[in-house]
Amino acid sequence: MKAILNHKTIDIDNLLLSLTNRGFKYGDGLFETIALINGTPRFLKDHLNRLKKGAEVLKLDLDDQIDYRKICRHINNLQEQNKIQGDAILRLYIWRNAEGKYTPNARNCDALLTIEDSVFNKLTLISKADFSNTISNYPSCISSLKTMSALNYVIAGIEKKERKLDEIILLDSKGNISEALSSNIFWKKDEKFYTPPLSTGCIEGVMRNWLIKELIKNGYQVKEKLSKIAQFIQADSIFTTNANGINYIQTIDKNSYTVDTISYELLNSVS
């Protein structure tokens, strides 16, 4: 497979990273996962804007690494060279290229863009979900970012596998609903939509932000709300959102939920 490293085409199998690489040593970087739908990257400008916001927090100088026009050309190049004609997943990584230990001596960064086949926009049902017993989210200046350091999600993912769940839901340190393993979470109750605020330590998802605006634009009430488990499980419908799309949770413990496809239909109308 071909990839783009610092605006140059490479064979991904030949990618070599130094042991001094700060993404490897310290998780000193960011990444974005972008859906390519019928050859068009979905919400690309929003993903690049989130990278820019994250780079400001991490004190990274992006220069032209995520220039919109260049990224579009790189995407077209990767589609052609990897012979990808349908849907695909793009991953854009940036990490600090500098020496130093915890305190880096520079702000410049490297950027890597990869592509692989995928399928999007299928309505996915999550049969069995439950709440994590091992991981809690804590808000910080980086908690809303997609950083290269994701051990809390790794541990939650292991718990999900051990408990034979299809999805695991993370709470914040105060017991409020925060997010799912790799997705933001929404619920619907009495014709109103809710989602946790960023103060719970959840990722500020591109799809999350888009859906909030789109639901409001179409006349629905949406509120960021702190919710304990007892209140949350009383929802009529619960679903998760990320770059891959929208997934509907059918059961949490002994509680069952309807599949309310409003959000799924809104997403398909623009894809």
Which pLDDT band holds residue 271 (cuts at 50, 70, 90)?
A: low
**Which part of the chain has CATH 3.20.10.10?**
124-270
**Average pLDDT of span 101-119:** 94
CA distance linking residue 5 with residue 113, whole number of Å: 7
Q: Above 80 in pLDDT, residue 7?
A: yes
**Which part of the chain has CATH 3.30.470.10?**
2-117
Instruction: State the CATH architecture for 124-270.
Output: Alpha-Beta Barrel (3.20)
Q: At the top level of CATH, which class does the domain 2-117 belong to?
A: alpha beta
What is the model's pTM?
A: 0.94
What's the whole-number average pLDDT of the chain? 95
**Average pLDDT of span 114-125:** 85
Q: What does the pLDDT look like over 148-162, one tens digit per residue? A: 999 999 999 999 999
Q: What does the pLDDT look like over 218-250, one tens digit per residue? A: 999 999 999 999 999 999 999 999 998 999 999
CA distance linking residue 5 with residue 9, whole number of Å: 6
